Structure 1
Amino acid sequence: MRICLYGSGSREIDKIYTNAGYELGCLIAQKSHTLVFGGGNNGMMGACARGVQDNNGKLIGIAPEWIKDYEQLCKNCSEFIYVKSMDERKNKFLEESDAFIIAPGGIGTLDEFFEIITLKKLERHNKEIIIFNIDGFYNKMFDMLDDMTQKGFLSNQYDLIKIADTADKIFEYLE
C-alpha cells in the first residue's frame, strides 16, 4: 500500500511529534508499505521518512523543485517526483496514494487535509483518511468541525475520516 503523509516540515516542533512520526515510519516499512510524502527532511515528514529509511522501506517524495528554497529535501528517496506547482503536487499525491495520514502540521497540512476530505465528500476518491491526533493536537479542530456540524454547515465528517492517537491504531484502520 502507498500511504501518503501530510505533516509539518518544521524544525521547531516538539520531540513528542517527531518521535511518533519516526515510529509511524518504522511501521510503514516493517509492514512493507511505501511512504508518499512532500519530500521534506525535517519535522513530521523527515521523522517519518527516517523511520522508513532505517527499516529499508520505500520513499516517494513529491515536491515542486523551487520548494528547496524554503525547506531541505530528503536525499534518500527511492523516487522523487518534481512538479511545477503545489496544486500539481496535491494531484500527484492523490494519484500516487492508496490512503492518507494527516499528522500534526501547519497551514500547508491543513490545506492538504481539507482538499483531500472535500474530494472524498464529492466522491472523487474513496481512500482512507486517518488523522494522527498525537497528544490531542487536532482536538480544537474537531471541536470546530463539530460546531459547524451542529449549525448545519457540515454533514457528519466522521463518516469520511478516522482518528488515531497511535501509529498502531492507524494500522488497525488500514489493515
Structure 2
Amino acid sequence: MSLLIEYLKDEQLPSHLTEAKKLVRDVAKYIIVGEQLYRRGFSFPLLRCLEGEESQYVVKEVHEGVCGTHIGGRTLASKIASAGYYWSTLKNDCMEYVKKCDRCQRFVEVTTTLFEKLHSVISPWPFYKWGVDILGPFPPAPGQVKYLIVAIDNSLQKNSILATAKISG
C-alpha cells in the first residue's frame, strides 16, 4: 500500500521494471482523499483501505461485535466490503479468522436431515416421458434433407436426432 500512496502523491515509480508496470496498472483503482487511501469499488463507490491492526479490528467487530452473527468467511468479507472497507487480503483474512473462532467451531450447526430410501418414479403409461419435435423446413442440405426429427427420452436421458427429406403422415 505504501508504494501506491507514494506514487499517488509524488508520482515516483519504483526502480524495478516489473514492479513499476504492476504499480501503474493497479494505481487506476485507487485514489487519495484527505490523506486516506480509497479503492474504487465495482459495486460500492469508494472503499477505505485499511492495514494491519485496523483491519483485524474491523474483522473482529463485524464478526463478534454488537450485531455480530458469527457468519462464515465469504459472507464476512462481503459484509466488510459493503460497510466500506478494503485491504488486499480481505477474503483470506476473513476465512482464517472464522477458522480460528472458537464459538464458530464449537457451536456449528449439525445437519439434521433424515435419510430416506429412494423411491422409483413410475410412468403412468408407456412413452409418457418422451418428447418428439419436428424442426424445419431448413435450406436443403446434401441428400435433399430439409427437416429434423428430435426425440428425447427423459427417463433414460437420451436424445436422438434424425435428418429427413420429407415429413410423411
Fold shared by both chains (TM-score > 0.5): no
Q: Give the helix-richer structure, 1 or 2.
A: 1
Q: Into which bin does the TM-score normalised by the smaller protein fall? A: under 0.3
> Which structure is higher in RCO with an 8 Å CA cutoff and minimum separation 6?
1
Normalised TM-score (structure 1): 0.25
Q: Which has the larger radius of gyration?
A: 2
Normalised TM-score (structure 2): 0.25
